[in-house]
Amino acid sequence: MAYASFIYEVSDGIATIRLNDPARLNALTFQTYEELERLFQDLAEDDSVKVVIITGTGKGFCSGGSVHEIIGKLMDMNAEELNRFTRMTCNVVKNMRNLKKPVIAAVNGIAAGAGAMLALASDLRIVSDRAKFAFLFTKVGLSGADMGALYLLPKIVGQGRAIELLFLGDAIDAREAYRIGLANRVVEHEALTDEAYQLAAQGGSAARVGRHQRAGKTRGKHGSR
């Protein structure tokens, strides 16, 4: 599968999504959302993929929606267009959460706005010591509940901390993200890729074991055929 807004590769059962607009810290466009929505839906049916890694090219993980290509154009949209865009962005998160395969965010730099949500929607977040998170929706005039943030974030960091992060939109560094439970691990920047793939290999093995166990239970219930 070829995509225009990110690099997509599969090797040894591990799918890698590498956001690929480093000059803009991998800001999202309408096309990026459309392609991510479709990809995570298709991955549910792709048996060659056991684990997914999402990361960014260059210094950023994802700086959120492009100011020029998304934020500015939102001001000119009518209600129907806004509703369609909102559903598409939420479908990205929904498809990630519904995927019955581990999704690992290798956060190599700033994860802001929708970029923070891509990390939040992942099952695990391996974070570079140079990374930062910012749920800055309210700072650009959007709802702090965008893309399911108000549902997912309290489950991970607790209600009080989530409200503070979403209301204020302030950035936190990797160590603080780890302290509050948003980051599963913080590693040296140069070791991030290796750590992510090591974890993916473990996750793939666990997924295979779980699948075999489920198959065994099914055979035991219905008998061998």
Q: Which residues, listed in sequence order, are joined to residue 56 by a DSSP beta bridge? A: 19
Residue 216 banded pLDDT, cuts 50, 70, 90: very low
* Contact between residue 131 and residue 107 where contact means Cβ atoms under 8 Å apart: yes
pTM: 0.89
pLDDT at res. 215: 42
* Contact between residue 50 and residue 101 where contact means Cβ atoms under 8 Å apart: yes
Residue indicated by tokens 């991998």? 26
Q: Tens digit of pLDDT for each residue in 34-76?
A: 999 999 999 999 999 999 999 999 999 999 988 878 877 877 8
d(CA 205, CA 34): 30
Question: DSSP assignment, residue 68?
Answer: I
Question: Of 39, 5, 36, 35, whose CA–CA distance to 20 is shortest?
Answer: 5
Contacts of 140 (CB under 8 A, 6+ apart): 71, 113
Alpha carbon distances (Å) from 148 to 96, 119, 167: 12, 12, 14
Residue 213 banded pLDDT, cuts 50, 70, 90: very low
Residue 206 banded pLDDT, cuts 50, 70, 90: low
- Which of 48-78 are b and which e, b meaning 16 or more Cβ less than 10 Å from the residue's Cβ? ebbbbbbbbbbebbbbbbbeeebbeeeeeee
Residue indicated by tokens 């990110």? 6
Token pair belonging to 144:
């702090």
Question: Of 22, 110, 114, whose CA–CA distance to 74 is shortest?
Answer: 114
* Higher-scoring residue by pLDDT: 211, 80: 80
| 118 C-beta neighbours (distance < 10 Å), count | 28
Q: Set out the domains of the chain in order of their start, with CATH numbers.
A: 6-222 (3.90.226.10)
d(CA 223, CA 122): 36
